[in-house]
Structure 1
Amino acid sequence: MNEQNEWAVKANGATGRIDKWLAEQQDWSRSQVQDWLKAGHVEVDGRIVKPNYKMSGTENILVRIPEAVELEVLPENIPLDVVYEDSDVIVINKPKGMVVHPAAGHVSGTLVNALLYHCQDLSGINGVKRPGIVHRIDKDTSGLLMVAKNDLAHESLAQQLKDKTTERLYIALVHGEIPHELGTIEAPVGRDKNDRQRMTVTDKNSKAAVTHFRVLERYEGFTVVECKLETGRTHQIRVHMRYIGFPLAGDPKYGPRKTMKMNGQALHAAVLGFTHPRTGETLRFEADLPEEMTFEISQLKKLELES
């Protein structure tokens, strides 16, 4: 790429949709590439084409990458379920449906917007879009999240995550009846080459990922499991449970569709433990399952009692 943020490439025999092919060439999402194509930022042999353009394999392609527009992240008066707070750390029980930090498509209503209103003192290590954010959980995953209020706390908590000394336990409702009580899934996770919005178990461009699980309850066609993260890859539990044949209930991306009246995966960050960055005290917090998950599990119990 040159100073004007232009990228020239030859098709070299490649065929298929141009949006899909371009997304695979760089670390771009397919939706991002589609936006560029619609805006005329991509030329094929000197002409503008649509995202569904079918390549013949002989094209010369020029991508003009638009400059990123810096998001203005504003404080918003959004209620927060604060589990713990002091001058260094704040622990939040994040509701399902809330995005952790602003990004394209989610510039407001995020946890960061709420945090900026609640407390102005957040660490700046991750920049203006992710102040205080040490780790994330998915939009439709509920539960506990630790946030750093200064750089000292941020560095300490980030190191604990890297050293795998934090305790992170999740409760999940999965499809199928897992026959054994305990298990460990050790399988590398990377981006799905066929869908840039999904992750998958793959040996290419992947990172090591380890999930330990323990069966808590079994019902007809479902199992409630406790998952312990050793690593924290994107969508790790969702990808790993699908990989072994027990996808999460309600998961629109990795599981069967419309099997329950849930909006998103049945996954809750129930336990979070770490060492306080200043005092050295061991802190451990628990958060009850959200009502939606509790209801679905109670319905499974009810059906079992009636059968």
Structure 2
Amino acid sequence: MQNLALFQSFQTDISGISLPEKFTFPFYYQPHELSKIAASELQMYLDTQTDFEHNFGLNDTQTGLVIGKMFGVLVCQNNKGELGYLWAFSGKLANENHHNYFVPTVFDMLTENSFFLQEEKLLNEYNRKIESLEKDGQYLNALENLKNSKIQAESELQQQKTRIKEQKILRDEKRNSLAPTLSEEELQHLNFELSEDSKQESILLKKMTKYWKLTLQSLEEKVLVFTSEINQLKEERKAKSSQLQQKLFAEYSFLNQFKEKKSIGEIFNDNPPAGAGECAAPKLLHYAFQHELKPICMAEFWWGQSPKSEVRQHKHFYPACKSKCEPILMEHMLLGLEMDENPFKVNPAEGKDIEVVYEDDVMLAINKPAEFLSVPGKTISDSVYARMAEKYPDATGPLIVHRLDMSTSGIMLIAKNEETYIKLQSQFINRTIKKRYVALLDGLLEKTHGYIDLPLRVDLDDRPRQLVCYEYGKPAQTKWKTIEVKNGKTKVYFYPITGRTHQLRVHASHSLGLHTPIVGDDLYGDKADRLHLHAEYIQFEHPISKEVMEILVEAEF
């Protein structure tokens, strides 16, 4: 299929919009105005196009499997200084790699007469040969004969072993009953006869064992004629498949602005995750570098119904995924491009103080600010733990009894010694501590209270995002009730029963939860001045006095 007008001009007047000073940092960004316009023009096309049939789950009358899709736009400048944009989709669209107006895949292994298709034919031939042998009537008969003979052999040998035991009992009974009535010579003769009977039974068992060993060996050799050939073909197929995979890894190469190529095999040490390189971002950048287009800014958005496992909102912008895109982009494709600052390397706690709301000799409670790590991260050490360790250098034990997400503000308990830590921790483990969070939700709810039970696990392709997963997820339960409705937003209390990572954020935003994200949730909703989630109340038993303690710190939103 021919791709038409891939570098497209803006339909909207952009004359009054300034170019960004730096390129978009793709893993955390607010879309530039040019990216928003490019995205809106793509969305207008998706709303009205008749070029392909794909069920995004937006039309109740449409049939077929519902598959929402991530789309990307890249605003570029050609060598004449003219601005335009490129479009891309992640993975396949309507089961195709190529569509008009969208950039192609970086490497299409399905092109006619490609080495992949040639090698695939060879692998399919191996599959046919293996399948033919495995369905061969002689082979199936040999397997059946071997199976039945093993069953018969085991049965007959077991019967003989049982008979030996039974005959021994009978011989012992005969000896004991006749012995008092026999002379010494007659008794000796009886014992000889009984001994000979025993020997004959044992000899018969040995002969039967030998017979079945030879019989089974003969049958196994008949089966081996086929299995040897099948296993040989499987080994050859495995070697061919491995060679093809390595060749694919070597051929699947990405360009950067210096026209340098780097293969997916080099980037991922010959072990790339499934689908690596098929996302919108690498497709867009590769095409731009191929055609001398200068990247200006980019954005990716979700189109369609959210998958059941994760939180994706129609038309919302999202960062590039970490596991598949970050190595490709950051280690190669974006080299030399001046980008917006990486916020993950900026200390969010800079200039913020921790308020102590309760303190005694063994513990304290603090009010953690929003955007403040509970414990040191990979690149940032400043955290509640670091501040507490500095403030209480003589404290022993882990200090941090429980954690709050970096973006969540509110009450945290700190232990000054190990004994206190253990006693407080046990209350969390046994769920005797009562906690209440307050959150502002970005919308209205149909109910005023309820219970959410959605098991969670980390998204391995896009940490730290969490997925709803009934197969591998850990139990996560939350009670909630509405406090106030104002200006189209709903303030609620959350009462978490469990304490999973991002539990309240996912339970609020997921379609099977409240389907209304927390205001300022940059992972599951829309970015704002802050995440409007605050741990405002905690009740626990003091580890020394055993007094029931209640601490309340009201939210500032």
1:280 and 2:553 aligned: no
Cα pair distance change 1:205/1:122, threshold 3 Å: farther
Amino acid at match of 2:450: G
Amino acid at match of 1:252: D
* Residue of structure 2 in register with 1:249 after alignment: 519
Cα pair distance change 1:156/1:194, threshold 3 Å: same
Amino acid at match of 1:120: P
Q: Is the 8 A contact 2:323 2:460 kept in 1?
A: no
User: Counterparts of 1:224-235 in structure 2 under 5 Å?
Assistant: 224-235=491-502
Question: Could you tell me how far 1:251 is from its partner in structure 2?
Answer: 0.5
Question: Could you tell me how far 1:280 is from its partner in structure 2?
Answer: 0.8
Partner Cα separation in structure 2 for residue 214 and residue 173 of structure 1: 12
- SS of the residue 2:464 aligns to: strand
Partner Cα separation in structure 1 for residue 441 and residue 333 of structure 2: 36
Partner Cα separation in structure 1 for residue 358 and residue 401 of structure 2: 16
Amino acid at match of 2:366: I
* Residue of structure 2 in register with 1:86 after alignment: 360
1:101 and 2:375 aligned: yes
Q: Is the 8 A contact 1:123 1:154 kept in 2?
A: no
* Residue of structure 2 in register with 1:176 after alignment: 443
Partner Cα separation in structure 2 for residue 241 and residue 78 of structure 1: 28
1:21 and 2:273 aligned: yes
Higher deviation after alignment, 99-108 or 280-289? 99-108
Question: Could you tell me how far 1:51 is from its partner in structure 2?
Answer: 8.7
Question: Could you tell me how far 1:208 is from its partner in structure 2?
Answer: 0.4
Partner Cα separation in structure 2 for residue 134 and residue 246 of structure 1: 30
Amino acid at match of 1:203: Y
Amino acid at match of 2:454: A
- SS of the residue 1:154 aligns to: helix
User: Counterparts of 1:1-307 in structure 2 under 5 Å?
Assistant: 21=273, 30=323, 34=327, 38=331, 79-108=353-382, 110-124=383-397, 131-243=398-510, 244=513, 245-257=515-527, 261-263=528-530, 265-290=531-556, 293=557
Q: Is the 8 A contact 2:352 2:369 kept in 1?
A: no
Which whole-Å deviations, capped at 9, do the CAs of 1:258-288 have from their partners, x for residues lacking one?
A: xxx413x110000011111111111010002
Cα pair distance change 1:183/1:116, threshold 3 Å: same
Consecutive aligned runs of 4 or more in structure 1 exceeding 6 Å deviation:
10-18
- SS of the residue 1:207 aligns to: coil
The number of residues matched between the two structures is 232
Question: Could you tell me how far 1:95 is from its partner in structure 2?
Answer: 1.0
Q: Is the 8 A contact 1:177 1:220 kept in 2?
A: no
Partner Cα separation in structure 2 for residue 155 and residue 270 of structure 1: 23
Amino acid at match of 1:176: G
- SS of the residue 1:196 aligns to: coil
Partner Cα separation in structure 2 for residue 78 and residue 87 of structure 1: 25
Q: Is the 8 A contact 2:456 2:500 kept in 1?
A: yes
Partner Cα separation in structure 1 for residue 460 and residue 351 of structure 2: 39
Question: Could you tell me how far 1:219 is from its partner in structure 2?
Answer: 2.4
Cα pair distance change 1:12/1:280, threshold 3 Å: farther
Which whole-Å deviations, capped at 9, do the CAs of 1:190-222 have from their partners, x for residues lacking one?
A: 112441220121124321011100100112431
Higher Rg? 2
Gaps of 5+ in 2: 1-241, 253-263, 277-321, 335-349
Cα pair distance change 1:77/1:268, threshold 3 Å: closer
Partner Cα separation in structure 1 for residue 475 and residue 372 of structure 2: 27
Cα pair distance change 1:233/1:288, threshold 3 Å: same
Normalising by structure 2, report the TM-score. Answer: 0.38
Q: Is the 8 A contact 1:169 1:272 kept in 2?
A: yes
Amino acid at match of 1:276: H
Partner Cα separation in structure 2 for residue 187 and residue 268 of structure 1: 21
Which whole-Å deviations, capped at 9, do the CAs of 1:241-260 have from their partners, x for residues lacking one?
A: 11120111111001134xxx
Q: Is the 8 A contact 1:77 1:118 kept in 2?
A: no
Cα pair distance change 1:182/1:11, threshold 3 Å: farther
Question: Could you tell me how far 1:228 is from its partner in structure 2?
Answer: 0.5
Question: Could you tell me how far 1:138 is from its partner in structure 2?
Answer: 1.2
Gaps of 5+ in 1: 1-9, 39-49, 53-75, 125-130, 294-307
Q: Is the 8 A contact 1:273 1:282 kept in 2?
A: yes
Cα pair distance change 1:121/1:181, threshold 3 Å: farther
Instruction: Indicate the structure with greater helix content.
Output: 2
- SS of the residue 2:493 aligns to: strand
Question: Could you tell me how far 1:77 is from its partner in structure 2?
Answer: 11
Normalising by structure 1, report the TM-score. Answer: 0.67
Cα pair distance change 1:179/1:88, threshold 3 Å: same
Question: Could you tell me how far 1:121 is from its partner in structure 2?
Answer: 3.6
Partner Cα separation in structure 1 for residue 497 and residue 465 of structure 2: 21
